[in-house]
């Protein structure tokens, strides 16, 4: 997921924009659409369809890293479930990376005050797409930095060393409900940290885990290597172990032995699952509801992003149960490979280039099932007259907030860049990043009422946009 604009911060802007544009507001919805929105919200809130689909993805299939047998099983499962709803289902072929985790062990072998014949275990996990150490591991001194600026100042002093990015997740921001913003502040260290350290001659990189709960759990996540940079092994250490290393390094030399044996195997054919409820008047015009089907391998991908896929499926189930067919097509997509390559979103943008002008909205849910507060949109507050009726219908779901100028989620970003307005449900993110990308992302973390309430947000938004008489204007894509 990407960093969000703080949702509560823009409410004043919403009211002001609504007032300013109310005079010339076009009739965006007819009364039948507005009545249906309330019905949809109530039906989604009382359904456990999404909860049960997430349960199957998490418990019966399990972790679904791209290229794995479980990812393939999840494609078949979701396609079969959507066919049961009478939808037109196809599998869009996507080639995906196939990275597999190996052994991951580390220990401190020397530090200030060490007693003879002792070591200190360090709990870590390889970052996704990391290269391996030699089989016997590497032994090197650890250099602790708190920012890219500090790394750059050290310059040649980093050569031959293991660099630890000791960057601390802002728990106060998470406690206030803005876990995504706390994550967004630091995710660049995980993704770009290995390349920055490699350029200075470092032999490996450790990143303090990005997450809000300290139960000595490492948080994995994708990393990458810039073109021309020597790839070096990279891992996330737990917050506790990062603190330990930093305390000891403040006293003197800390030396570590680390072994990581992941492998990158040849790319594997996989698929996005694409299921249509054809529109009654404009079947060629499409509103996308989506989540990503792949997950990290440590947990079972219950919140990231089984919950998002299940919510998108839940939208289709609610419309099916209510017998509602909007004017435009609603397309449910379960994306493949969000976590370590985003090949699914890229393939769709390539394959659907000719239909982009008719793709009127793309919604992706990729922040779990915490209590929803509303939704974000890449559009500016000029779209307020079109979106306020949806907000009104969501008062009954305690989620009426709209965040304008919100960045796009990963899988829909390629089509957002081509001009498709992007949307996402917004949650009060207080616990999502406690488990994110860890072994603790399991089904017990999914709140039954929360997943239903998030489904209600997406269902109302998708139906409104698919059934609107007139739609908000497209706007150029903004990088955040
Ligand atoms: Zn995700």
Query: DSSP labels for 437-456?
Result: TSTT--GGGS-HHHHHHHHH
Distance 253 CA to ligand 1 centre (A): 38
Q: Over the stretch 97-125, which tens digit does the pLDDT of each residue have?
A: 999 999 999 999 999 999 999 999 999 99
What pLDDT score was predicted for residue 26? 53
- Residues of the chain with pLDDT > 90, as a percent, come to 93
Catalytic annotation, pick one of 338, 339, 352, 388: 338
Distance 338 CA to ligand 1 centre (A): 7
What pLDDT score was predicted for residue 478? 81
Asked if 44 contacts 456 with a C-beta cutoff of 8 angstroms, the reply is yes
Distance CA 336, CA 340 (A): 10
Query: DSSP labels for 292-355?
Result: E----SSS--IIIIIHHHHHHHHHHHHHHHHT---SEEEEEEEES-TTTT-HHHHHHHHHTGGG
Q: Over the stretch 435-473, which tens digit does the pLDDT of each residue have?
A: 999 999 999 999 999 999 999 999 999 999 999 999 999
What pLDDT score was predicted for residue 179? 95
Distance CA 362, CA 472 (A): 13
Distance 409 CA to ligand 1 centre (A): 9
Q: Which helix (H) or strand (E) holds 374?
A: strand 372-377
What pLDDT score was predicted for residue 479? 74
**In 111-208, which residue ranges form alpha helices assigned H by DSSP?**
148-154, 171-175, 179-199
What pLDDT score was predicted for residue 441? 98
Cα angle 419, 423, 424; round to 5: 150
SS3 223: coil
Mean of all residue pLDDT scores within the chain: 94
Distance 436 CA to ligand 1 centre (A): 9
* 174 noted as active-site residue: no
Distance 292 CA to ligand 1 centre (A): 6
Q: Over the stretch 444-454, which tens digit does the pLDDT of each residue have?
A: 999 999 999 99
More confident residue, 2 or 92: 92
78 pLDDT more than 90: yes
Distance 214 CA to ligand 1 centre (A): 21
Q: pTM for the full model?
A: 0.94
Q: What is the Rg, in whole angstroms, of the alpha carbon atoms belonging to the chain?
A: 23
Q: Over the stretch 207-261, which tens digit does the pLDDT of each residue have?
A: 999 999 889 999 999 999 999 999 999 999 999 999 999 999 999 999 999 999 9
* 432 pLDDT tier (thresholds 50, 70, 90): very high
Distance 363 CA to ligand 1 centre (A): 14
What pLDDT score was predicted for residue 128? 98
Residue with tokens 């680390």, as numbered in its chain: 258
SS3 405: coil
18 pLDDT more than 70: no
């Amino acid at each position: 997921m990407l960093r969000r604009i703080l949702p509560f911060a823009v409410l004043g802007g919403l009211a002001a924009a609504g007032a300013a544009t109310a005079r010339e507001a076009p009739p965006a919805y007819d009364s039948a659409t507005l009545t249906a929105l309330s019905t949809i919200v109530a039906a989604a809130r009382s359904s456990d369809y999404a909860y049960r689909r997430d349960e199957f993805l998490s418990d019966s299939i399990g972790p679904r890293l791209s290229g794995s047998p479980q990812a393939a099983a999840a494609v078949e499962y979701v396609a079969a479930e959507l066919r049961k709803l009478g939808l037109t289902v196809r599998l869009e072929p996507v080639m995906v990376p196939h990275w597999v985790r190996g052994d991951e062990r580390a220990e401190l072998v020397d530090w200030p005050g060490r007693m003879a014949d002792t070591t200190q275990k360090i709990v870590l996990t390889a970052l996704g797409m990391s290269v391996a150490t030699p089989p016997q591991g590497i032994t090197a001194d650890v250099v602790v930095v708190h920012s890219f600026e500090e790394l750059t100042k050290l310059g040649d002093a980093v050569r031959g060393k293991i660099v630890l990015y000791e960057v601390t997740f802002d728990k106060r921001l998470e406690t206030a409900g803005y876990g995504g913003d706390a994550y967004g502040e630091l995710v660049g260290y995980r993704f770009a940290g290995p390349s920055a350290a490699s350029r200075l001659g470092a032999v490996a990189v450790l990143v303090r885990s990005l997450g809000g709960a300290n139960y000595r759990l490492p948080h994995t996540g994708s990393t990458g290597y810039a073109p021309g940079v020597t790839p070096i092994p990279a891992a996330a250490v737990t917050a506790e172990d990062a603190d330990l290393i930093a305390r000891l390094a403040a006293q003197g030399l800390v030396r570590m032995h680390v072994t990581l044996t992941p492998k990158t195997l040849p790319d594997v054919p996989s698929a996005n699952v694409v299921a249509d409820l054809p529109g009654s008047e404009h079947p060629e015009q499409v509103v996308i509801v989506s989540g990503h089907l792949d997950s990290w391998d440590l947990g079972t991908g219950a919140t990231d992003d089984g919950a998002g896929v299940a919510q998108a499926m839940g939208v289709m189930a609610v419309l099916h149960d209510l017998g509602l067919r909007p004017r435009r097509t609603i397309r449910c997509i379960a994306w493949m490979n969000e976590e370590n390559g985003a090949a699914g979103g890229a393939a769709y943008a390539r394959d659907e280039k000719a239909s982009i002008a008719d793709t009127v909205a793309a919604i992706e849910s990729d922040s779990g099932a915490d209590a929803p507060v509303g939704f974000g949109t890449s559009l500016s507050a000029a779209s307020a007259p079109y979106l306020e009726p949806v907000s009104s219908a969501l008062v009954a779901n305690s989620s009426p907030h709209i965040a304008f100028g919100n960045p796009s989620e990963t899988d829909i970003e390629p089509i957002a860049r081509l001009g498709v307005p992007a949307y996402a449900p917004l949650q009060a993110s207080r616990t999502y990043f406690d488990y994110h990308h860890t072994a603790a992302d399991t089904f017990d973390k999914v709140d039954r009422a929360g997943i239903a309430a998030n489904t209600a947000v997406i269902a109302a938004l998708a139906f409104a946009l698919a059934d609107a008489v007139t739609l908000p204007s497209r706007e150029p894509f903004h990088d955040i």
